[in-house]
Amino acid sequence: MPAAAPWLLYFDDEAAPAQRLADAAGLTARAIERHRFPDGEWRIRLPLDAAGHLPARAVLLRSLHTPNEKLIELLLAARTARSLGVQHLTLVAPYLAYMRQDMAFEPGQAVSQRIVGAWLAELFDAAITVDPHLHRVATLGEALPLAQAVVVSAAPALGRLAAAQRPGCVLVGPDGESAQWVAQAAAAAGLAHAVCTKERLGDREVRIALPPGVAVQGRPVVLLDDMASTGRTLALAARLLRQAGATSVDVAVTHALMGGDAWAQLQQSGIGTLWSTDCVPHGSNAVNMAPDLAAALRSIGAA
């Protein structure tokens, strides 16, 4: 009997991105139902085939912005999938949470990246994510110790978007870590690029310096980064670029986390348009990552 085709499992609040990925990867999308008990706990229910099982291979889609409850959902879903016959389980987490705390900055702090990464590695056989924030860690496999830990980058697509929307723009990254994404985006789109330096002083406070001699006078600039969270990094960078003579400053990010007053911060700093990928659902979504995620699934034999 031929092996059943893999399923794409998704939680019932993510039907639209799941269908996009299923279509791109040629998978059958099946929803995991969630029920919220009065005390706040979740009950989840996995879909089953006619014989009451799941296929031997499955993909579980969950973007891990606002992660705390989702990590519990993943635990319940992954363990249950195993008990129902899944032997190979791939996590597709377009946004991978808890990667920014990659060291103990003060004695006693949890190194969340390693702890959450190790926990996910116990639940899944393979994982795919987009532009994870690893900073002091060289590879995703160090943070998420799986034989198959695949990074997809949105940078080329964001670069092409910037070139189409703001022809002749300069791509600028706000800090050292963004250099990798800015370089990829600039190469893909044939744009000039530059990278600032940044010092983080607190959750909502950063210090940024433009690169010496940056040539933005009289030119449009597109700031490019992995994420906008409070928006403070991009807002400060935008102010400095306008002071340096940029004719316009727009923003392209992989992950539009956009918490609290982030949009107001961006607007007050003179930023025109925010473009983002659909890794995190947001009104700024302009890039569909499903084709790239599907290619990554195929590259590891998960689709």
Ligand X SMILES: O=P(O)(O)OC[C@H]1O[C@H](OP(=O)(O)OP(=O)(O)O)[C@H](O)[C@@H]1O
Which residues are known catalytic residues? Answer: 198
Two tokens at 253?
A: 């990010």
Whether 261 and 270 have beta carbons less than 8 Å apart is answered as no
Given 229, 269, 277, 284, the residue binding ligand X (CB under 6 A): 229
Exposure letters 69-103 (e unless 16+ CB within 10 A, then b) = ebbebbebbbeebeebbbebbbbbbbbbbbbebbe
The letter for the amino acid at 287 is V
Cα–Cα distance, 178 to 23 (Å, whole number): 31
Residue 226 binds ligand X (CB under 6 A):
yes
Two tokens at 121?
A: 């590695």
Given 146, 232, 240, 294, the residue binding ligand X (CB under 6 A): 232
Query: By C-beta, is 11 or 275 nearer to ligand X?
Result: 275
Residue 174 binds ligand X (CB under 6 A):
yes
Each residue 95-114 as x (binds ligand X by CB under 6 A) or -, in order, gives -----x--------------
> Contact region for ligand X (CB under 6 A) — 8-16, 25-33, 84-92, 220-228?
220-228
Query: By C-beta, is 61 or 253 nearer to ligand X?
Result: 253
Residue 62 binds ligand X (CB under 6 A):
no
Query: By C-beta, is 47 or 281 nearer to ligand X?
Result: 281
| Interface positions, 1-40, toward ligand X (CB under 6 A) | none
Residue 261 binds ligand X (CB under 6 A):
no
> Contact region for ligand X (CB under 6 A) — 25-33, 169-177, 179-187, 215-223?
169-177
Given 171, 224, 231, 279, the residue binding ligand X (CB under 6 A): 231
Residue 158 binds ligand X (CB under 6 A):
no
Cα–Cα distance, 137 to 142 (Å, whole number): 7
Residue 239 binds ligand X (CB under 6 A):
no
Half-sphere exposure of 93 (CA within 13 A, CB side): 24
**H-helix segments, 124-231:** 140-143, 155-165, 179-189
Cα–Cα distance, 169 to 200 (Å, whole number): 27
The burial class, CB within 10 Å (0-12 / 13-18 / 19+), for 135 is middle
Residue 200 binds ligand X (CB under 6 A):
yes
Given 92, 149, 169, 228, the residue binding ligand X (CB under 6 A): 228
Total residues in contact with ligand X, by rule CB under 6 A? 17
Cα–Cα distance, 191 to 92 (Å, whole number): 31
Given 63, 90, 113, 233, the residue binding ligand X (CB under 6 A): 233
Residue 199 Cα distances to 69, 167, 174, 220, angstroms: 31, 31, 10, 25
CB of 211 to ligand X, least distance (A): 16
Residues that bind ligand X (CB under 6 A): 100, 133, 135, 174-175, 177, 200, 206, 225-233
